[in-house]
Amino acid sequence: MTTTTPTAEARPGDAPATGAVLPPLHIGPLTIDTPVVLAPMAGVTNAAFRRLCRESGAGLYVAEMVTSRALVERGEESMRIISHEPDERPRSVQVYGVDPVTVAAAVRLIASEDRADHVDLNFGCPVPKVTRRGGGAVLPWKRDLFRSIVSAAVDAAAPYGVPVTVKMRKGIDEDHLTYLEAGLVAQEVGVAAVALHARTAADYYSGTADWESIARLKETVTDIPVLGNGDIWSAEDALEMVEQTGCDGVVVGRGCQGRPWLFADLAAAFAGSSERVRPGLAHVARVVRRHAELMVEHFGDESKALREMRKHMAWYFKGYVVGGETRASLGLVSSMAELDDRLAGLDLDQPYPGAPAEGQRGRAGSPKRPILPYGWLDSRELSEDFRRELHEAELSVSGG
């Protein structure tokens, strides 16, 4: 297999660019020419995957979420998560935390040691290990805690010129929405932009994202950029979201899993071009090989890197005729030699399959009743008991 950087394959009859759809995205002192952000995804958006995305298109690429407590304690894995390649600019990290003092300390470490050019705060994670401790998507319900955390992060980053942004969900469920109030608070305390995943914590990743909520947030928060997130599976989806909501840019998560070339499509779309990548199986195989190489470089351990690659295989080969046995074997690769052998056995002349390769990626799941701390919904304010519990909450959260 070749080890050269894969190149995009354009659709025949592509039209030339007709002009930018949106102006560049300004996040504090940063200018993002293509207003697209790669959402941080645990176990996915490491430096290897971010490089693949950067080689395909343009935008702001956020590293995997890191907990503030683990970062302050300089955990080996946390420091690896926030590491960036020398040519990666701007460098972006996402911090999760439920204690203002710890979050501030983590942001100060990042900014003062010049480890990132941008810090995002996670108020969007819906997974139970996060929400059961009052974190992620359910935290803005405690409005004083939300204000304290965001203010502390902004103040810690300000002396170093590092902008802070907020990524959040609509709220806990449809009866406990928080996003409009949270957006206004974020704007008031100096956040550089807000991003909304247009689902509640209860929605998890199910159903259809409520893009109308993005439009309402854009109408409410008028002084800083508002970014939309949810159900962007193609460049056309991104353009439609902008058209429907008036948002200033988009955040892409699951849509790029196994498809880093989506960023080439997005760059073209926002430049006003209809050029799109339509990869045959040979192109997909080259990207998989490149991804694996980068993973080995990133982890410095071939066995670990290939284990991490396994989750990506189903995403990469979605819609292609691969065969059940081969598909299963690709999901069990343990070495580069084994990967090369599996890829060589594919029908590399197979063309792009069209619709079967498009659409939703990953597991959508079903709505879930959020797991909350006992009594969390009783008040919008934070009791002293909750405050003491939250101070220790990050100790058992790592990713999400």
- Mind telling me the catalytic residues? 125
CA dihedral 32, 245, 55, 314 (to 10 degrees): 150
Which residue in this structure is represented by tokens 């919904």? 377
Q: Which two tokens stand for residue 218?
A: 């854009």
CA distances from 59 to 236, 249, 250 (A): 17, 10, 10
Cis peptide before 90 (omega within 30 of 0): yes
Q: Which two tokens stand for residue 387?
A: 């405050």
CA dist 242 and 388 (Å) reads 42
| Furthest CA-CA distance within the chain | 64
The answer to whether 78 touches 114, Cβ cutoff 8 Å, is no
Q: What type of residue is 386?
A: F
CA dihedral 185, 215, 136, 68 (to 10 degrees): -60
Half-sphere exposure of 384 (CA within 13 A, CB side): 0
CA dist 187 and 96 (Å) reads 19
CA dist 381 and 146 (Å) reads 10
